[in-house]
Amino acid sequence: MKLSISVILLLSSFVIQAQDKFQMGVLSESDKKFSVYEKDTTASAVFLYEFGDNYFEVRNNYIWLITKYHAKIKILNKKGFTYTNVEIPLYTSNSNKEKLVTIKAITHNGQVKKGVKREEFFEEEINGRWSQIKFTFPDVQEGSIVEYEYEMQSPFFYNFSGWNFQADIPKIYSEFNAKIPGNWIYNRSLVGSLNLDLNEANVKKYCFAIPGGTNEASCEVLKYVMKDIPAFDSSEAFMLSSRNYRSKLEFELSEYKRFDGTTDKYTKTWEDVDREFKSDRDIGSQLRKKNFFEKQVAEELLHSGDELTRAKNIFDFVKNYYTWNEENGIWNDNRVKTAFEEKKGNAAEINITLINLLNAAEIKTNMMLAATRNKGLPKKTHPVMNDFNYILAKVDIGGKSYLLDATDKYMPFGMLPFRCLNYYGRVMDFDNESYWYDILPESSNAIMIRAQMTLDPFNKKLSGIFDFINTGYKKVSQDEILETTKEEEYLEKLEEEISDDFHIISHEKNLKYSDDKKITERFNFEIENLFQGDNIYLNPFVIKFFEKNPFVSAERNYPIDFGYPMKYQYILNMKIPEGYKLKSLPEGKDFTLPNSGGLLKLSVIDNESGTLNLFFTFDLNSAHYSNEYYSGIKQLFNEAVNGQNQSLIVLEKI
């Protein structure tokens, strides 16, 4: 069979380009020439190529997990220089550690290459378990291509964790390979919204054996490829941990079948976990300290009042007694007695104290394992204990359940800090079986402003009163601001945020209309420079809820998560002064999301009595929205921002 010259040249070109991609130090002409990535013109850098290979190998009579990695990155502008600083993590146990067998790194500037010298690779200790190899590519310019490859040797088979396809910058090509002997069984899952371009799994027989052994294991040979992978935009507002959405492959060691016939199981059932927790020194045994705590607190704290009263009093005692050290502490050496004596502890120690005291008061309370919002959602398919990083208390009183966290001095009974609003957790009921339990946020969260304004044409100023009412999570935030800021500083900052012409005359917290989930403030104020010639020009929104739209991307491939439902309301009553008549009013707005998901309403009414009434309502009726709602929510915020910024009341002199 004869091939034409053109076909031969085409095949040769393909082979050369394929070799260029895989070969360290060799670049294709197309990689060298382009200066802007057409599929994402905002990208500061782009992965031209990324390759990983993972397999098991016997070296010096020891089984190692070998990881090979190779990447080429094009630096498109100065913002991309951040990707020329590389950190490679290495894990260490009490008796063994991961190490890099080889590493190379090169900067390409046209035909000029400059490598990183051996002494320019630094190892830095992070903590007792982790270190990292660090280096920086030399002579980086706009248009440089940087590439590096390394081989890692690991004795920790459970550290074969997977592959991150998606990053903060786009990738043109990313390939993950693995060869896994049948002795090792891993759970695996594909996370994220992107699909694989290649998904191959084959069996290779007799591919792995240990020296002196009589059996050879078959291997599963895996190859996964994604092409043209968009950057993951982690700057978009209102998102849970990006770990939930970045496209990646996750591997988790389930069991290891030894060559002698024994098996080590790593993936356990919840029944196994329940049994282990009961006897665990750092958690289980710490939950059985109620006799100690009974002796440390006043008797009336545990026995005065009904169950709900006692629970609230104990909760208030613990959150005011302790200072949280900003650590979660779930897998630490927790010592609740020491923490109690020092009046300071991590979240686990504080909430274990709370659980002990509530049980000492004969109020049924269990520990709940949870994950904070920045940790990611725990898997429900099987126990993965590293998915959890927080401990809460679940209290059952009179047929109603309450979730409690005593680390935040401003948090009311029955509300969790924002960081804990992460869908669900696992309740460890040691008398029965553990179970999943949903985390439901406080439903009534609002900022409401009710204003009355009077125009004084003679003195050319506006005076008024507005009540500032915060409920739910908005109240908690406002409490902290008022408690930690001097009143003078608080009022000055508020004046600066509103306008140079806005002046607060007096301020008071109206305790009569406040409670544990609501706080009301009253302000007397004046506004100057509203008069221009014979006319009065007034934006009725003295305080704006939104200065700009937080949603700017054209589209979104992951859910919108506000943490809790929200309501914003602005009501204004203003009398038209004598000698003036209404010239123009803001346009009304009426916009709703599908399925009663939210709404925006703006209306201004000119009453016959000579007064104006403005009503503005902005509701987000859910804490979580699928990405299908994105365009609607983006438009909802856009309408709200425009309504506040562009509304204008004009009065002209008669």
* Residue 259 vs residue 360, higher pLDDT: 360
- pLDDT tops 80 at residue 2: no
Predicted local distance difference test score (pLDDT) of residue 16: 42
The reported pTM is 0.85
pLDDT at 632 over 50: yes
CA 536/CA 543 separation, integer angstroms? 19
User: Considering only 35-44, 147-156, 265-274, which range has the smallest mean pLDDT?
Assistant: 265-274
Phi, psi at 408, each rounded to 5°: -110, 115
User: Could you tell me the pLDDT band of residue 285, with boundaries at 50, 70 and 90?
Assistant: low
What mean pLDDT is reported for the chain?
90
Query: Can you give the three-state secondary structure of 317-333, one letter per residue?
Result: HHHHHCEECCCCCCCCC
Split at pLDDT 50, 70, 90, the class of 281 is low
- The pLDDT of 105-132, averaged and rounded, is 93
Task: Choose the weakest-confidence range: 215-219, 561-565, 566-570.
Answer: 215-219
Taking 50 as the threshold, does the pLDDT of residue 239 lie above it? yes
Q: Are 386 and 320 in contact (CB under 8 A)?
A: no
pLDDT of residue 237: 86
pLDDT at 15: 40
Tell me what the mean pLDDT of segment 498-506 comes to: 92
DSSP assigned state of 491: H
Residue 4: predicted pLDDT: 42
DSSP 298-362: -HHHHHSS-HHHHHHHHHHHHHHH-EE-S---TTS---HHHHHHHTEE-HHHHHHHHHHHHHHTT
pLDDT at 406: 97
